Amino acid sequence: MPSALIFIADGTEEMEFTIVYDTLVRAGVSCTSAFVSDDQREGELGSYESNPPFAKGSRGIKILPDTYFSPQAATPDKYDLLVIPGGAKGAETISNNSPIQHLVREYIQAGKYVGMICAGSLAALRSGLPKQPLTSHPSVRDQLKDNFEYSEDPVVVSGKLVTSRGPGTAFPFALTLVELLCGKQKRAEVAGPMIFPPGTFA
């Protein structure tokens, strides 16, 4: 069974997190969400307990992650896919995290997939990935366009790096990840019961 680690932080865009998590689970992918603290939250939390706190999303919706982010528990031998959602504040916290930057490089070097959506694509820049096709939310385009082959396609696959644009492209992004991990037939099996309008991306 393929497995995925999906990061979440305060300020993560809720749709980008939940649609990807839900769609992957429908495909039989074993998913784990990992809470990434910013400096302010770490000060408030004090010493970590076994259960992570609620992450407060970009629209104020509270989501309970499965676990705290631990670099030692997130290595490429443990998962087939890393996912970095957007949401300006959440994407900043995740993409500025040095251990996550290291993991992004490690996963790609190990031939594992890394998915980034919306402002989450900033992690490609912060991780020092080489110039290649990529997309993002328009709000961070100017930070990325000189270092990557910037595209406005809904989903861009560049080797093991998969990027997408925002909440409205979360379904094609998630279904692309399903196809890459599980094949085209599984993508069709998952998309069918979702009842997308005819002619859309499913």
Q: Which residues are known to be catalytic? A: 16, 118, 137
Nearest one of 147, 76, 155 to 113, comparing CA atoms: 76
How far is residue 165's CA from residue 134's CA, in Å, rounded to a whole number?
10
Radius of gyration of the chain (CA): 16
Q: What residues contact residue 129 under an 8 Å CB cut-off, 6+ apart?
A: 104, 105, 108, 161
- Measured torsion, CA atoms of residues 155, 4, 119, 197, in degrees rounded to the nearest 10: 40
Q: Compute the half-sphere exposure of residue 24: CA atoms within 13 Å on the CB side of its CA.
A: 28
